[in-house]
Amino acid sequence: MGKNDKSALGRALIKHHNHQIQESKEKGQLYYKQHKKVLESVTDVADIDAVIQQADDAVRLFSVDNPAAVNTLIDLESSSSTSEMTPQERRESQKKEEALHASSLSVPRRPAWNANMSVEELDANERRAFLVWRRSLARLEENDSLVLTPFEKNLDIWRQLWRVVERSDLLVMVVDARDPLFYRCPDLEAYAREIDEHKRTLLLINKADLLPYSVRLKWAEYFQLHDILYIFWSAKAATAVLEGKKPVSSLEETGGNDTKIYAREELLSRLQSEAEDIVQMRTNSQQTSVNAKTEHVTVGFVGYPNVGKSSTINALVGTKRTGVTSTPGKTKHFQTLIITEKLTLCDCPGLVFPSFTSSRYEMIASGVLPIHRMTEHREAVQVVADRVPRHVIEDVYNIKLPKPKPYEPKDRPPFASELLRSYCASRGYVASSGLPDETKAARQILKDYIDGKLVHYEMPPGMPGEDADLNEPGSSESDESDSDVGTTEEQGGTRPDDGLDDVMDDLKSFDMANGLGSSKGVHGARKKVVAGASYKHHKKPQRKKDRAWRVKDDGSDGMSVVRTYQKPANVGPVMAS
Ligand SMILES: Nc1nc2c(ncn2[C@@H]2O[C@H](COP(=O)(O)OP(=O)(O)OP(=O)(O)O)[C@@H](O)[C@H]2O)c(=O)[nH]1
């Protein structure tokens, strides 16, 4: 063998070797991509991530001869229409649009499948259907008048839900008793019925220990009126009974069948009998064996993050099987738990359903989005300040909040800035900059709100808070301020004359601070505050979706604060339960 032959063989061997390494690397990466992906909830998608994901999916899913690809891409260009509507007009238009598009607010459906399909085919079908669903919601997001919640965008999490819905006879939607309708997803109930007309959904009103009896009674009336299957439940109380910290009788005293908080055994047997009824109805309709005895039933648990699914499962199983913390989103995969040979429970990871009703800050305050994702803490704390009466905050924290100015409604909720600063002052929270550590304070206040230390609850739609008249003195004037964020201007007309000097002083300093000069008249300046016209001067542009919820206020400290004067409708008063 000549020298040249030797080197040619060497080169060929090296080439072959390199090729093999390259091939195994690619295979490894593919494997890593397909199998080692950590299942993570995605509610916020930075535009660049969405673009990459779209490109990735589009390349994988659509061949050249499938023009559907073009139509399925999500248009990230949101509409930049900046209409100059007043807050009231915005809210009205938002309400109309919400009613108009309510039917578009769906959960993604799993495309039809059968056992003969290959894994790749199944995967491609599901991805394609998911993209179409995302596209329909992206269109809604482009609508300037709508505020869409940051919903779950990870297909793999929805796949977990699909499986739980498919395998369950009875679907239990766990909701937080403090605001059950916020956590309810009617379209999921509809989806369950589409899969099987006999499937039913039961609303498990967890954390019922945070509701007084009278409020449970009102909710019971509401659920019965609307033909909603429900049960009041407290995973916390059930766990305390299991651990011997509370007697079972503590639950028995909680009212009649419609309003009582179920004990563990009662809940298990009710779930089993409801599921057995469903199986029986299905069997009857198939007319296979009319009197066949139901052998085994499965009950699936679904719901938003942090509503207490894991706590419920742990209480029902009797031992700690799933992790419980106040950080939302730690249950990652559904779990199947065999309770008896006749009853199996299935726990789905918590997921955020698409909805119109809430802002990002409400979702943080409601425990659905993790507190650590919070960037604008004042906005989230304002939700707490709007919902928990001033005197309750003062009592719980043993602080004194600044009183409203003479020209402000006497019962206006505290500003987030006031609450944060008073809290920081009382606890000595100081940041390294030497300013009050508002971030630390905000986290603690939100945690207390989520954990129920700052007690609050909503009343059923159309029902007033049970002791609305027991609010702080002067509340009668407040009803006007409840109607809309734009009412600040009207309230100006009823302000006491003796507060005029304060008004003038405040407006002067506001004008000076905003470079408006002293030549502007009072009304000119007030209009700007109400309409938020001077907003752009000193606040970075807000996401279009959030604007409808807020008006600008000069805050007690002369700083720019975006907040609403509006006390949300149906907020119940606070009573220790
Ligand atoms: N007061 C009260 N708190 C509860 C009750 N059930 C759960 N919690 C609290 O609510 C928080 C969330 O409970 P989890 O059981 O982890 O909620 P989850 O729905 O499984 O949450 P994900 O894993 O995010 O889906 C924890 O801090 C619980 O202690 C209850 O009945 N009453």
Å from CA of 463 to ligand 1 middle: 27
Ligand 1 atom closest to the Cα of residue 322 is: 20
Å from CA of 82 to ligand 1 middle: 40
Q: Dihedrals φ, ψ of 405, to 5°?
A: -70, 160
Instruction: Determine if ligand 1 sits within 6 Å of the CB of residue 331.
Output: yes
Whole-prediction pTM:
0.69
Å from CA of 153 to ligand 1 middle: 23
Fold assignment, 360-451: Conserved Hypothetical Protein Ylqf; Chain: A; domain 2 (1.10.1580)
Ligand 1 atom closest to the Cα of residue 347 is: 20
Tell me what pLDDT residue 356 has: 80
Whole-angstrom Cα Rg for the chain: 28
Å from CA of 304 to ligand 1 middle: 11
Instruction: Determine if ligand 1 sits within 6 Å of the CB of residue 306.
Output: yes
Å from CA of 312 to ligand 1 middle: 8
Nearest residue (by CA) to ligand 1, atom 26, is 326
For residue 41, give every residue at least 6 positions away whose Cβ sits within 8 Å of its Cβ, in sequence order, or none: 152, 154, 157, 305, 329, 349, 351, 352
Tell me what pLDDT residue 331 has: 52
Å from CA of 328 to ligand 1 middle: 9
Ligand 1 atom closest to the Cα of residue 311 is: 15
d(CA 529, CA 512): 14
Q: Is 195 helix (H, G, I), strand (E, B) or coil?
A: helix
Å from CA of 433 to ligand 1 middle: 36
Nearest residue (by CA) to ligand 1, atom 11, is 326
pLDDT in tens, 50-74: 555 555 555 444 443 444 444 444 4
At the fourth CATH level, which superfamily is domain 149-285+293-347? P-loop containing nucleotide triphosphate hydrolases (3.40.50.300)
d(CA 354, CA 53): 20
Instruction: Determine if ligand 1 sits within 6 Å of the CB of residue 309.
Output: yes
Q: What is the mean pLDDT of each run of 10 residues along the chain (577 residues)?
A: 64 77 60 54 58 52 43 43 63 78 86 90 94 89 78 91 94 96 92 94 96 93 95 94 77 72 93 93 74 79 92 84 52 78 90 80 85 83 94 95 91 94 94 92 95 92 58 34 32 37 46 40 30 31 33 34 37 39
Instruction: Determine if ligand 1 sits within 6 Å of the CB of residue 447.
Output: no
Ligand 1 pocket mutation pick from 41, 210, 306 by most atoms within 8 angstroms of CB: 306
Instruction: Determine if ligand 1 sits within 6 Å of the CB of residue 236.
Output: yes
Instruction: Determine if ligand 1 sits within 6 Å of the CB of residue 234.
Output: yes
Instruction: Determine if ligand 1 sits within 6 Å of the CB of residue 335.
Output: no
- What are the Cα distances from residue 66, in Å, to 70, 246, 569, 573? 9, 63, 49, 57
Give me the residue label for tokens 């008006």. Answer: 551
* Residue 534, Cβ density class (10 Å: 0-12 exposed, 13-18 middle, ≥19 buried): buried
Å from CA of 464 to ligand 1 middle: 28
Do residues 297 and 198 touch, judged by C-beta distance below 8 A? Answer: no
For residue 25, give every residue at least 6 positions away whose Cβ sits within 8 Å of its Cβ, in sequence order, or none: none
Does an H or E element contain 451, and which?
helix 438-451
Å from CA of 417 to ligand 1 middle: 29
Domain layout of the chain by residue ranges: 149-285+293-347, 360-451
